[in-house]
Amino acid sequence: MRLYRCLVFGLVCVCLSLVSKGEEDGLSGCNMYEGEWVWDDSYPLYDSAKCPHLRSQFDCSKYGRPDHFYLKYRWQPSKCNLPRFDGKEFLTKLRGKQIMFVGDSVSLNQWQSLICLLHSFLPQTQILDELDKLVYNYTFPDYQVSVFVYHSTHLVDIEEEKIGRVLKLDSIKSGSIWKNMDILVFNTWLWWYRTGPKQPWDYIQIGNKIVKDMDRMEAFRIGLTTWAKWVDAEVDTNKTKVLFQGISPQHYNGIEWNEPGVTNCSKETRPINGSTYSAGLPKAYYVMEDVLKKITKPVHLFNITTLSQLRKDAHPSSYNLFKAMDCTHWCVAGLTDTWNELLSVQVTN
């Protein structure tokens, strides 16, 4: 991916293109995505019981999770320190701005965490708007900051047609809404490999060609490339900061963390020690990284993949309203608060 450093000489701004993985955070060149989890008694950053509008699928404490170890870990980068989230600083520096998370339920997961973090600073604020079935907005009027989430499982369009639901790999019609934001945080992957009743489309279309199915990793590449071209063509990155979230991992296969025979996260109560995940990065990560490198405008890889792989303990498992095993999403409070601490570094510096 190309990132940019700009130097001002008089009235002339010279931008130097840097080819990188998008992992530097702007604080003395430190890679804040490399590090390990350490115990910290001062965590969590808020009491989830006091957070309004917290969805039942993320509220592990309310639905009976007996251990609280997962709340007590802090991310420690290898060569610097991650600043503790400061709601006042966040809202002050982003006064008058609009932030939007665009993606699947993992984006909703992070949005919920950010609302809880900010609400703990301004508990009297409770302005939540459902703009339509796809968009929610939480506003902090004292600072004129709005935090949106836009539900889009694939980023590209899915449309109802006579033949059924069609996943259009070369079409993005919702972009006219997204590009007006000051900060955009994109995410997609969770729904690309789903089949059967959980699959949200019946056919795939590329140009004039319609097929019943295709290699899902290739479909992901094509869809993500459409999004990348949209960024280059439509987003004014002088006004709008664009971040793309790394692949959020699942923990259903214990072989990945050296526990053969384990088939979910139900009994996991501690993170993986150290900085590496034995299974390595998922295949989708490499597809994502390859596409992002081809974007000519400045886009930051919000690289939460490895640090989240280490948190096999941070999922709701069965501690949700539905009692269903969930090793895909994350407890709130929990890991997603760290995502937002990392996000704060990116958007307030």
- Which stretches does DSSP call E strand in the chain? 2-9, 12-19, 35-39, 73-77, 98-103, 127-132, 135-140, 145-151, 157-161, 164-168, 183-186, 203-206, 209-211, 241-245, 299-302
The CA-based dihedral angle spanning residues 250, 348, 99, 146, taken in that order and rounded to the nearest 10 degrees: 120
The pLDDT of residue 13: 40
DSSP at 64: T
Domain with 63, as residue range(s), is 35-154+184-189+240-348
User: Would 213 be classed as within a structural domain?
Assistant: no
Angstrom CA distances, 100 to 195, 223, 253, 266, stand at 28, 20, 32, 32
Q: Which residue has the tokens 């604020």?
A: 125
The pLDDT of residue 257: 96
Six token digits for residue 274: 């150290």
User: Would 172 be classed as within a structural domain?
Assistant: no
Where do runs of H (alpha helix) occur along 15-121? 87-93, 105-121
The pLDDT of residue 7: 38
Nearest CA to 307 out of 71, 78, 117 is that of 78
Q: Is the dihedral of CA 185, 4, 34, 345 positive or negative?
A: negative
Instruction: Collapse the DSSP code of 196 into the 3-class scheme (helix H, G, I; strand E, B; otherwise coil) and give the result.
Output: helix
Total number of domains in the chain:
1
DSSP at 345: H
User: Would 211 be classed as within a structural domain?
Assistant: no
Six token digits for residue 131: 């703009």
* Residue 299 CB neighbours (<10 A): 24
* 67 is a catalytic site residue: no
- Of the candidates 157, 326, 337, 344, the residue annotated as catalytic is 326
* 105 is a catalytic site residue: yes
User: Would 337 be classed as within a structural domain?
Assistant: yes
In terms of Cβ atoms closer than 10 Å to its own Cβ (0-12, 13-18, 19+), residue 281 is: middle
Whole-prediction pTM value? 0.91
- Contact by Cβ (8 Å): 47, 334: no
302 Rama class: left (phi>0) / alpha (psi -120 to 50) / beta: beta
Six token digits for residue 252: 């259903």
Reading the chain (349 residues) residue by residue, the pLDDT tens digits are 433 334 333 334 433 333 333 344 456 679 999 999 999 999 999 999 999 889 999 999 999 999 999 999 999 999 999 999 999 999 999 999 999 999 999 999 999 999 999 999 999 887 888 888 899 999 999 999 999 999 999 999 999 999 999 999 999 999 999 999 999 999 999 999 999 999 999 999 999 999 999 999 999 999 999 999 999 999 999 999 999 999 999 999 999 999 999 999 999 999 999 999 999 999 999 999 999 999 999 999 999 999 999 999 999 999 999 999 999 999 999 999 999 999 999 999 8
Angstrom CA distances, 151 to 109, 110, 132, 186, 252, stand at 11, 12, 10, 10, 25
User: Would 284 be classed as within a structural domain?
Assistant: yes
- Of the candidates 61, 146, 329, 344, the residue annotated as catalytic is 329
- Of the candidates 48, 105, 120, 318, the residue annotated as catalytic is 105
User: Would 14 be classed as within a structural domain?
Assistant: no
User: Would 42 be classed as within a structural domain?
Assistant: yes
Rounded-to-integer distance, Cα 315 and Cα 58, Å: 8
Rounded-to-integer distance, Cα 84 and Cα 75, Å: 10
- Contact by Cβ (8 Å): 326, 339: no
* 329 is a catalytic site residue: yes
> How are beta strands 183-186 and 98-103 bridged, if at all?
parallel
* Residue 320 CB neighbours (<10 A): 23
The pLDDT of residue 125: 82
Q: What letter represents residue 296's amino acid? A: T
User: Would 233 be classed as within a structural domain?
Assistant: no
The pLDDT of residue 23: 45
Q: Write down how long the chain is.
A: 349
Write out the DSSP string of 200-267: --SEEEETTEEES---HHHHHHHHHHHHHHHHHHH--TTT-EEEEE-PPP----GGGGT-TT--SSTT
The pLDDT of residue 137: 95
